[in-house]
Amino acid sequence: MEATNPQKIDYWKVTLSGIFKENAIFRLAISLCPAIAVTTGLRTGVLMGVAVVFVNVMVNITVSAIRAFIHPRIRMPIFMLIISGWVTVADLSMAAFAREAYKQMGLYIQLIVAFASIFTRAEIFASKNKIMPSFFDGIGMGVGFMFALIVISFFRELLGKGTLWGVSIIGAKPLLIMLLPTGGFIATGLLMAFFNWIDIRFYGGKGAGGASGH
Amino acid sequence: MEKELTKLFEIFIASALINNFVFTRFLGLCIFFGVTKKVETAVGMSITFTAVMMISAALSWVIFNLVMVPLDLTFLKIVVFIGVIAAFVQSSDTIMRKVSPGLYYKLGVYLALISTNCIILAVPLINAGEHYTFLEGITLGLGSGLGFALALVIMASIREKIEIADVPMPFRGLPIAFVTTGLIALAFTGFAGIITS
């Protein structure tokens, strides 16, 4: 069924490429700041991921919808305006509905506005494509980002607190260092190396994930 | 007066060492990993960053407290701060190129990277969140800038050595840089006890 419908395959490809091939954190290594800041627990990691998916999708839709009216010369400021507008929406909703988590990660929600990954998607994809592909591209990039946050925060919460989503799993705190900033950096580094290793071992790649540096 | 000075000093030390932007707050990581391959670039970058952080802290403080607070527009702070910083960076880029091409050649090239960077934007946002006074705001900018400079220079010196070391294949590039940063961050947690209040 799907094979006969080229449009559908296209959407899948667009979505999946954002999750795996162009995963913002492990492969492209951009927008790293929150990856470490909010991943001390699964809950904050997921919340941040949801906020990023929301902003990513809404920005892509908006940019795509008005792309015919944006003069190329002033597209950068327009994109910034759209992104910061949607980040404000996410910021205020988070402050209203998730107060506890917001106290912990409020600054990082506001700083979604400086995400290179969202800006580049608006520039590379949404400003050249129709609304539906842009929507799926936003979902893909956002979910890929969320996936990375979940993986990192899974290991950090499990090893640091011995819990998952606040529920005790191990009953002890095996590696308290995982909750410190140090643990965040080291966990991300090891996971990145792991993804590189998979790439080298099974796909014959060069393990270039993150080699570019920004 | 003395009490105010103590407060300023506290903010300075706290933002430069204890809450170091890179090692404790995890901001500016893209730049941090991007430009720390050579010490020379790192130094140039950190001078530009410190200057921009202080000036944008001052500008956004004025706009936030004299315009946005009286008009009850504080919910627009993200949009406004981004606009202020981008406009300031753009204009200083143009002015610098005309007035002193030598300086522009040395430091101005980094300006293009700055305009929408989380580390620059974080200073005004923290200032607004903590209700700092004008001087405190600028001190936060200065302290954070110098702390960032310290981080960049330390990291760049280490990475120059790593470049010639035999690193296992999957760890080449960013992963080893991340692990190294983790170890530096561990050292920086030692500063946490400096100020007790």
pLDDT digits (tens, 9 = 90+) for A104-154: 777 888 888 877 778 878 888 888 888 888 888 888 888 888 888 888 888
What angle is formed at CA A209 by the lines to CA A64 and CA A157, rounded to 5 degrees? 90
- pLDDT, residue A212, reads 41
Cβ pairs bridging A and B (under 8 Å): 142
CB within 8 Å of chain B, chain A residues 103-142 = 106-107, 110-111, 113-114, 116, 119
- Establish how many alpha carbons lie within 13 A of residue A143's alpha carbon, considering only the half-sphere containing its beta carbon: 14
Testing the interface with B: which of A59, A82, A186, A194 to mutate, by most B Cβ within 10 A?
A186
Q: Residue-wise pLDDT tens for chain B (197 aa)?
A: 788 888 888 888 888 888 888 888 888 777 787 777 778 878 888 888 888 889 989 999 999 989 888 888 888 888 888 888 888 888 888 888 888 787 777 776 677 667 667 788 888 888 888 888 999 999 999 999 999 899 888 888 888 888 888 888 888 878 888 888 889 888 888 887 777 65
Distance CA A96, CA A99 (A): 6
Q: At what angle do helices B174-188 and B134-163 cross, to 10 degrees?
A: 130
Q: What is the torsional sign of CA B114, B119, B121, B123?
A: negative
3-state secondary structure of A167: strand
Task: Specify whether the CB–CB gap between A87 and A110 falls below 8 A.
Answer: yes
Q: Is the pLDDT of residue A3 over 70?
A: no
Domain extents in chain A: 7-149
CA-to-CA dists, residue B135 to A153, B55, B131, angstroms:
38, 12, 12
Query: Residue A19 has which token pair?
Result: 């999750």
Q: Report which DSSP code applies to A39.
A: T
Alpha carbon distance B42, B173 (integer Å): 17
- Residue percentage of chain A with pLDDT more than 70: 83
* DSSP symbol at B166: -
Q: Give the residue on B whose Cα is nearest the Cα of A183.
A: B182
The string over A62-73, giving b where at least 16 C-beta atoms fall within 10 Å of a residue's C-beta and e elsewhere, is bbbeebeebeee
Which residues of A fall within a CB distance of 8 Å from B117?
A: 114
Higher pLDDT, A3 or B164: B164
Chain A hits for B124, CB-CB cut-off 8 Å, are none
The interface residues of chain B toward chain A in range 131-160, judged by CB-CB distance below 8 A, are none
CB atoms A113 and B121 under 8 Å: yes
CA B85 vs. chain centroid, Å, equals 13
Task: State yes or no: pLDDT of A201 exceeds 80.
Answer: no
The model carries a pTM of 0.80
The amino acid occupying position B34 is: G
Rounded to a whole number of angstroms, the distance from the CA of B22 to the nearest CA of chain A is 9
Strands (E), chain A: 163-164, 167-168
Amino acid at B131: H
Asked if B89 has any chain A CB less than 8 Å from its own CB, the reply is no
> For residues A195 and A202, what is the distance between their CA atoms, to the nearest angstrom?
11
Quick one: closest CA in B to A189, which residue? B175
Contact with chain B for residue A180, Cβ under 8 A: yes
How many CB atoms lie under 10 A from the CB of residue A176?
12
- What pLDDT, on a 0 to 100 scale, did the predictor assign at position A118? 82
Phi, psi dihedrals of residue A121, rounded to the nearest 5° = -65, -40
Lowest mean pLDDT among A100-104, A209-213, B132-136: A209-213
What are A97's two structure tokens?
A: 């509905």
Query: Scanning the structure block, which residue is given the tokens 């991340």?
Result: B178
DSSP B56-84: HHHHHHHHIIIIITTTT-GGGHHHHHHHH
Describe chain A by its helix, strand, coil percentages, rounded to 5: 75, 0, 20
Sign of CA dihedral B31, B32, B34, B37: positive
Task: Burial-class residue A140 by CB neighbours within 10 Å (0-12, 13-18, 19+).
Answer: buried
Which residue do the tokens 């010196």 mark? B157
Q: Which of B83, B116, B178 lies at the smallest CB-CB distance from A192?
A: B178
Distance CA B12, CA B138 (A): 10
Neighbours of B38 (CB within 10 A): 14
Question: Is A193 in Cβ contact with B175 (below 8 Å)?
Answer: yes
Task: Tell me what pLDDT residue A5 has.
Answer: 43
